[in-house]
Structure 1
Amino acid sequence: MADAHLTPEERDSLAAELALGVLDGAARSDALRSLMADPNFSPDMIGAWDRRFAVLYNDYTPVAPPETLWPSIERRIADGLQAHPALRQLRWWRAGAFASAAVAASLALVILLRPTPTVPAAPPAQVAVAQMVGAPDGPMILARYNPASGRLILRPKGVAPDRLAPELWIIPADGRPRSLGLIAGGAESRVVIDPSYRPFMTEGATLAVTMETIDGAPHDAPSSTPIAAGKISLF
């Protein structure tokens, strides 16, 4: 999905899918990246869908499927494929296709005098995203990071600074938090990551926000539990 302004329908649909949790992996990262690139998007849109779905969840009781369900489905699919006449025809078609492909390959070797050199395409620029969340109906912060420039964009929702200010942390595989500095609580923040900390901004590392005193920031370690946290997805 290209980084362009989304239509209201596309924006609302992505917010609903993120709230419902139907996206994962690359699809979830792509949706977060597209929303972060859209200046008309606000994290409140995801929160609005969370509240709508919360009413529906109360009407259902989770039921665990029997352990025999998936083995039964797999067995029926396998039996159906073996018995279906179209599968036997497909095997004959594959054999003919392989033979034709072999003839075509032989002709190509005779015709071509020299291979055309190919220029490898430049790899696409990587982008990292993270969705930091905390307690239900609590703060949510969307983050988008450009590894090439070291620039980090943050869009917070529900972060209310008082005498304490939100401080951003990166927690890599060694488990030790490193402060990335104080961020704005009610508006978009743009941070340039210190070059010495950029190697920590990798796939699976955790971004977290705690509320800290302004004096002495950036701090050596957090003094409280995070109000929001989420893992980085790099693509």
Structure 2
Amino acid sequence: MYLCEQNYIESLRYFIELAYDGQSFHGWQIQPNAESVQEHLEKALSVLLNQELSIVGAGRTDAGVHAKQLFAHFDIEKPIDEKQLVYKLNRFLPNTIGVKRIFSVHDEAHARFDAISRTYEYVISIEKNPFLAAYSYYMARPLSVEKMNQAAVYLIKEADFQCFSKSKTDVYTYFCTIEQAVWEKKEEKLIFTIKANRFLRNMVRAIVGTLLEVGLGKIPPERIQEIIKSKDRGKAGFSVPAQGLFLTEVAYPNRILEKNDK
């Protein structure tokens, strides 16, 4: 795996781009007595590269949440054959985790701290479909997409979003900047897309649950402003189930990819 003809290098940093089906995992992060994506990836890398390695992800996903794109990084002392490692990882890892590519980056590049935005999608099934059950939340009652989009506009700003955060969360700030929040109808599905610089624990699922209450006519769209100002989780709506949530994109500044592009 190593390119032995190269001179010794103190440390090289590599990014991994991967995707996973979250059904069988207790989220991204390693935790005791629970299966995680990070644990599987670290174990596979350590075995294939014949040394103990730790990886840092772009962020955490909760139990049952899926990722169409997530980045992580690891450090190693010698260069690797990137394509060969991708091939071997995909043979070693379970079918629920797929590695798309591995590429070298500047040593200071950080998968978590250098990410400038994350984008999530939440999928609602408006017709009962057994083939979507594991990847969407079925809503039998009619929803007003127009009202949900009216409400979503109030989310697009920099604000304290504590009202949508899981309680007893250890964070340095509840401020996030939401750049996009919109509902679209696609065949028998409603898809909510939300993009921000960062997200709090359970934030997207709480936002979706609150917007569904708008769509059901339980609260008016403009009530979103009051809920945000309250900073009270009890004022917001319910948290929708995890299976409909997908992390779809993690974006980085161009400088992160400069070394890879040369």
Q: With structure 2 as the length reference, what TM-score do the two structures score?
A: 0.18
Q: Relative to total residues, which structure has the larger helix share, 1 or 2?
A: 1
Greater strand fraction, Structure 1 or Structure 2: 2
Instruction: Return the index of the structure with the highest Cα Rg.
Output: 1
